[in-house]
Amino acid sequence: MIKKSFMKKPGAVLLAASLAIGSIAYTPAVTQAANEVSLVSDANSAKANTEMSYDFAVADSNTVYISVFVPEMVSGTMSLARNGEQVNNEILNSDASTWEYIDNKTFAAYGIKYGYTYVLEKPTPADWNVSLNFDTDTVYAIIISQEKNLASINKNSLTLTAGFSDKLSVKGANGTVKWKSSNNKVATVSSDGKVTSKKAGSAKITATTESGQSLTCAVSVLKNEFNQNRVYPSSVKYGESIMQVYKMSYDKKGNLILKTSLLNNSGKRSGGIDNVTIIIRSDKGKKIGTFKLKSKRFSLDSGNSKDFTFKIKKADLKIKKANLRTAQYDDPKGTILYWR
């Protein structure tokens, strides 16, 4: 699709094109966006009524921009052809209806107004040609550029539990992608983008494409432990008692340690617990391990809580290395004994 664009192109990369006006040589800073690739970049002189022709190949359907600059406004034509067949012919007037004056520290010339710049949206991959024909002698500069495919990373941020991994990938990159971690003590990354967390902290993973584009992912590594805000006996419905698991972690031997609290708001003194069962599950519901306690005696007044530390031995765990940060537990089962 060919249309006149009334939007200015974002500029980032400066393409130097020598533009001689009389005895003065100018180097116009013709703007080309950083996400564009140059197809044609030329500065030349043209005789009146002489065609200046430029061939360029379009390999994909990304947008193509065609811009022309002259030292003085000039009339003529600008035509466009695809595979040898003309598809557009633009009349250029030697006045402000066609040209716009551009003046900055490095560039002084007239450029075809953005309203008259060729913009090829979703062009057909083909051999293209643009031809300029001015009514008077002039020097000029022409820039033809095409938007290029920018690579993208699948995650800009990532939260991992220490000891666990996730996969990063880059889409739209040609050739090899190089991966690097800013802090290998916290997280490492393999040549194929696999991020492995080591310990709690933060790191930045950078993927660099062959074209030089850099993509980053901020990685936050958290301790492999389960934490739940502790509740108070007063928050328990009166007449009841509950047991809360507020923390889970592995010890150095790989045993699973449970930090629990019995919250008594029954209105009676508790004298112990019998036949306690606590099942720990992964975030997908798979059983990690089960703690069982036959009997334990103590004295606990209503309105108070009592903490216990329980252990599930490594040999009894169904999953030896589980992501405790996302783990859950079934409501503890058992019998709470009360004094009469």
What value does the mean pLDDT take over residues 62-68? 87
What value does the mean pLDDT take over residues 308-324? 97
Q: The pTM is what?
A: 0.64
For the beta carbon of residue 18, count every other beta carbon within 10 angstroms: 13
Residues 243-280 have pLDDT tens digits of: 999 999 999 999 999 999 999 999 999 999 999 999 99
pLDDT at res. 19: 41
What value does the mean pLDDT take over residues 123-145? 92
Phi/psi for 116 (5° steps) reads -115, 5
Taking Cα atoms as reference points, which of 292, 288, 269 lies closest to residue 340?
A: 269
Question: Across 43-57, 58-72, 145-159, which has the greatest mean pLDDT?
Answer: 43-57
Bridge partners for 133 per DSSP: 51, 77
Distance CA 92, CA 133 (A): 9
pLDDT at res. 106: 57
Distance CA 220, CA 153 (A): 17
What value does the mean pLDDT take over residues 176-204? 97
Name the pairing type of β-strands 36-46 and 138-147.
antiparallel
Query: CA neighbours within 13 Å on the CB side: how many for 226?
Result: 24
Taking Cα atoms as reference points, which of 41, 24, 23 lies closest to residue 32?
A: 41
Tell me how far the alpha carbon of residue 100 is from its chain's centroid: 38
Residues 201-249 have pLDDT tens digits of: 999 999 999 878 899 999 999 999 999 999 999 999 999 999 999 999 9
Helix (H, G, I), strand (E, B) or coil at 230: coil
Asked whether 135 and 48 are in contact (CB, 8 A), the reply is: yes
Bridge partners for 241 per DSSP: 264
pLDDT at res. 37: 82
Distance CA 57, CA 116 (A): 22
pLDDT at res. 274: 97
pLDDT at res. 108: 64
pLDDT at res. 112: 78
Distance CA 159, CA 224 (A): 12
pLDDT at res. 1: 42
**Is the model more confident about 109 or about 220?**
220
Binned at pLDDT 50, 70 and 90, residue 104 comes out as: low
Percent of the chain with pLDDT over 90: 66
Residues 3-37 have pLDDT tens digits of: 433 333 433 223 333 443 333 333 333 444 457 78
